[in-house]
Amino acid sequence: MLTSRQQEQRQVQEQEQMQLQRQVQELQRQVQELQRQVQELQRQVLRQPFRHKRSKQEPTGQQ
């Protein structure tokens, strides 16, 4: 049988674990959303004709 002190600690730990799990789930949702945005951006990039704009703007022979 647990003492009241041990029981209290266990309850606190369980509450903290639940909070952490909720935070993890929230972060996972955010990650999924970001991955979706990345895929969308990659699609947009692939649709554009590939141009090397930088090489024209940079002065030649200087670094």
Q: Give the confidence band of 53 by pLDDT, cuts at 50, 70, 90.
A: low
User: How confident is the model at residue 2, as a pLDDT?
Assistant: 76
Token pair in block for residue 11: 């309850």
User: How confident is the model at residue 49, as a pLDDT?
Assistant: 74
Contacts of 10 (CB under 8 A, 6+ apart): 2
**Which tens digits make up the pLDDT trace of 1-51?**
779 999 999 999 999 999 999 999 999 999 999 999 999 999 998 888 766
The structure tokens 């903290």 sit at 16
